[in-house]
Amino acid sequence: MGGEEGIDWSSWTKSLEQIGVIASQSTENSAIMVLQEGKEGTVTNETLVLIDNRAGNKILAVCRGGFGYNDALRTSAYTPGIAYAKRGHGPSSSKEYFGFRLVVIGDVTDGTVKQNTMIIAPGSPVYRFNERLNPMNFLYRSRFTVGYYAKGHKSWTIPLMADYLSHHIGVFGVTGSGKSFLCRYQLIPLLREYGYDVLVLDWKGSDYAPYYPDNVISMGDVELDDSAVVSYLAEALGYFGGGDSGMRMVSYLEEVISTSEWRGRTATETKERLLYNLLDVIKEDNLEPTGKLGRWGYIYQRKAMRAFERLSPDDLKPLMGTMKPSEIIQLLREKGVLVMDLSYGSKEQKLSVFLSLTRYLKRLMEEKNELRIALLIDEAPQYCPWQPRGLEEKTTKTLIELAALGRSYKLSLTLVSQGIAGEIGINAAVRRNLNTLFIGRIHPLDAPEAERYFANSFVTSDSLLRLPEGHFYIVGKVNPSPVPLLMTFEIPEHERVGWGGG
């Protein structure tokens, strides 16, 4: 279909099945369709239809919001029909009909989708597509596709405007809605095909690491940069009790990290060296003219010793990694997909690894290098919650900077989260940078936020709350349709949940 010769619409409409007729009070963007007798059993929400508009054009539209009507069963008054029903008799179906609201995707008269500006004439016939006539071909021609249209055929893969993949992606849905599967089976392969190497940050180490056994590195292998070491240690040492003196001591710690040989061969040795060097730096800064340690020097040293008592050798393990961010990126280039297993260690340790790695990526971009790297961040609220605290403030800010730089230097972010906004969601300033969203089954708390993304497209939070796993609406820039489309994808039999399985 499509092409220079145009479409032979008369043979088209002959081969399509008519399912209904446009009712009164239509506009150029939506209309009500009355279904032909019996079609209510086969036409469902999200079915794609072609309107043979009597006003003169062909319109691609989608069914959203069905209804059944029977005048004999009106409940606003006592009617004979109600009286029958009350006694358990079947009502007459002579005044019964079914319908759907049609939401216009666009004018497809010449084979590609354009904004429809013509009023849809009441009485126009409405057809349903069949397997051979793929409506996705109207939308956009692209070798990059994702899944398939959920209420169509498996061959109806959804074309993407791939240029926008580097304008960042959000994947949202409650637990078990299929986010990680979407990433593994669709988004990672898609980004690879698009020419990006994909670095996955696997917060729990269970969603991705087991599936890429040859492409995993552990967070403990990563050498933290000085700044990440300081923020990690400061957090682990409780900021030396906080306050002005605590701040002073963090600056001593900074000096130790940036100027001394503090890494030992073991975690225990590292701990000893850190403390020894810290006491030394404190001493030098607090000498009295007489050459003796001043009063404040004693206080700082005592605080340092007390704070270090809280550290176990395990806390120092993240400082023992030897793989530099540059080496990780090199490995990523070799492997194409690299999963960073963040499963061991505290939240501070995980975020420090993230900071170390992303600081390097940021530098590369500031030096005007094109990266062609996709960073896939599962459990995104851990990095950029709605109200960031402590290290989260740094990681949130970093994500905002990466998003801005990434648009120019081809670093694509994919943030995966159970919630969109508020307490369960991700930080609003980060979210504003996500130009493409995959929205699966949402949490009731997210209903108001989700509805904003679906304004005027007649997808209600009612249906978003009920989406089955593996179903996602595509919203935003990569979506070639002006209204969100419902996609799904195949997973292998052994991955399915439900009874009957192993």
Ligand X SMILES: Nc1ncnc2c1ncn2[C@@H]1O[C@H](COP(=O)(O)OP(=O)(O)OP(=O)(O)O)[C@@H](O)[C@H]1O
Residues that bind ligand X (CB under 6 A): 173, 175-181, 207, 418, 469-470, 488-489, 491, 495-497
Q: How far apart are CA 322 and CA 309, in angstroms?
A: 25
**What's at 71, amino acid-wise?**
D
Q: How far apart are CA 380 and CA 373, in angstroms?
A: 18
| Closest CB to ligand X among residues 180, 396 | 180
Smallest distance, Å, CB 173 to ligand X? Answer: 5
Number of residues that bind Mg ion (CB under 5 A): 3
Q: Are 420 and 449 in contact (CB under 8 A)?
A: yes
Residue nearest to ligand X (CB): 470
| Closest CB to ligand X among residues 19, 434 | 434
Smallest distance, Å, CB 487 to ligand X? Answer: 9
Q: Are 34 and 50 in contact (CB under 8 A)?
A: no
Query: Using CB under 5 A as the criterion, what x/- string covers residues 472-491 for binding Mg ion?
Result: --------------------
| Closest CB to Mg ion among residues 40, 207 | 207
| Closest CB to Mg ion among residues 207, 315 | 207
Residues 6+ apart with CB under 8 A from 34: 20, 21, 22, 23, 97, 98, 99
Smallest distance, Å, CB 182 to ligand X? Answer: 7
Instruction: Phi first, then psi: give them for residue 311, nearest 5 degrees.
Output: -85, 130
DSSP string, 105-132: EEE-TTSS-B---SPPPTT-EEEE--TT
**Does position 414 bind Mg ion by CB under 5 A?**
no
**Does position 186 bind Mg ion by CB under 5 A?**
no
| Closest CB to ligand X among residues 32, 380 | 380
CA-based Rg of the chain, rounded to a whole angstrom?
30
Smallest distance, Å, CB 200 to ligand X? Answer: 13
Which of ligand X, Mg ion, none lies near 418, with the C-beta cut-off 5 to 8 A by kind?
ligand X
| Closest CB to ligand X among residues 154, 310 | 154
| Closest CB to ligand X among residues 172, 252 | 172
Smallest distance, Å, CB 485 to ligand X? Answer: 15
Helix boundaries (H) for 141-289: 179-182, 188-193, 226-236, 243-259, 267-285
Tell me which residues in 195-234 interact with Mg ion (CB under 5 A): 207
Rounded (10°) CA dihedral 110, 43, 476, 380: -160
The Cβ of residue 226 has, within 10 Å, a number of other Cβ atoms equal to 13
Convert 90-108 to b/e letters by CB count within 10 Å (16 or more is b): ebeeeeebbbbbbbbbbbb
Half-sphere exposure of 273 (CA within 13 A, CB side): 16
Smallest distance, Å, CB 320 to ligand X? Answer: 30
**Does position 180 bind Mg ion by CB under 5 A?**
yes
**The one segment of 12-20, 51-59, 180-188, 473-481 that binds Mg ion by CB under 5 A:** 180-188
Smallest distance, Å, CB 439 to ligand X? Answer: 12
Q: Are 160 and 144 in contact (CB under 8 A)?
A: yes
| Closest CB to Mg ion among residues 40, 202 | 202
Smallest distance, Å, CB 208 to ligand X? Answer: 10
Which of Mg ion, ligand X, none lies near 325, with the C-beta cut-off 5 to 8 A by kind?
none
Q: How far apart are CA 318 and CA 223, in angstroms?
A: 8
Smallest distance, Å, CB 172 to ligand X? Answer: 9
| Closest CB to ligand X among residues 177, 270 | 177
Q: Are 335 and 280 in contact (CB under 8 A)?
A: no
| Closest CB to Mg ion among residues 179, 431 | 179
Which of Mg ion, ligand X, none lies near 488, with the C-beta cut-off 5 to 8 A by kind?
ligand X
Specify the residue for token string 């409506």: 135
The DSSP 8-state label assigned to residue 386 in this structure reads S
* Two structure tokens written together for 290: 């007489």
Query: Using CB under 5 A as the criterion, what x/- string covers residues 140-179 for binding Mg ion?
Result: ---------------------------------------x
Which of Mg ion, ligand X, none lies near 17, with the C-beta cut-off 5 to 8 A by kind?
none
Rounded (10°) CA dihedral 345, 351, 354, 359: -140
Smallest distance, Å, CB 416 to Mg ion? Answer: 7
Footprint of Mg ion on this chain (CB under 5 A)? 179-180, 207
